[in-house]
């Protein structure tokens, strides 16, 4: 489709879609599987490590927290975004992707100051995640109370 005639929102979207560099779906999927799996396996390693001192549940929380911290540092060094370029969902969906989504805009918008730059932009992606997560969890918990799940 060439860009002739009127540009509407819909045909512009189709135009962009067509012009986007086509990366191989298969290659994307394999990378997502490998990187996502590796991040989870590293998490499992931390669970085993923390299990020496803590209960399994606490170890699991601490393992996720460790991954969040490591991903934040890697984002600072600009490494995480490099991984994300080929890992796709493999780097987005693990908790490390959440961490990246918090840290990346915080760093990016530092120039706008620590209150409205770092403080506000940090929640660009984390905000929707926390808002939706908390809302759904409260509704489910209340329903469980009502119907005695």
Work out how close the CB of 10 gets to another protein at its nearest, in angstroms, rounded to a whole number: 14
Work out how close the CB of 66 gets to another protein at its nearest, in angstroms, rounded to a whole number: 8
Q: Tell me the C-alpha to C-alpha distance, in Å, between residue 26 and each of 60, 68, 76, 84.
A: 32, 28, 30, 16
CA distance 123 to 119: 8
Cβ-based nearer residue to another protein, 15 or 93: 93
Please answer whether residues 80 and 64 qualify as being in contact, where contact means their C-beta atoms are separated by less than 8 angstroms.
no
Work out how close the CB of 101 gets to another protein at its nearest, in angstroms, rounded to a whole number: 7
Please answer whether residues 15 and 3 qualify as being in contact, where contact means their C-beta atoms are separated by less than 8 angstroms.
yes
Please answer whether residues 94 and 33 qualify as being in contact, where contact means their C-beta atoms are separated by less than 8 angstroms.
no
Cβ-based nearer residue to another protein, 7 or 13: 13
Cβ-based nearer residue to another protein, 3 or 139: 139
């Amino acid at each position: 489709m060439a860009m002739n005639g009127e540009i509407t929102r819909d045909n512009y979207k189709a135009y962009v879609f067509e012009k986007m560099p086509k990366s191989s779906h298969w290659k994307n999927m394999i990378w997502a599987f490998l990187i996502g799996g590796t991040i989870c396996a590293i998490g499992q390693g931390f669970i085993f490590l923390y299990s020496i001192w803590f209960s399994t549940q606490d170890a699991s929380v601490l393992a996720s927290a460790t991954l969040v911290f490591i991903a934040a540092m890697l984002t600072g060094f600009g490494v995480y975004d490099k991984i994300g370029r080929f890992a796709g969902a493999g780097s987005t969906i693990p908790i490390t992707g959440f961490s990246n989504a918090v840290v990346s805009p915080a760093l990016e918008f530092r120039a706008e100051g620590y209150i409205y730059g770092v403080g506000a932009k940090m929640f660009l992606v984390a905000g929707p995640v926390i808002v939706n997560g908390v809302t759904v969890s409260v509704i489910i918990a209340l329903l469980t109370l009502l119907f005695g799940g």
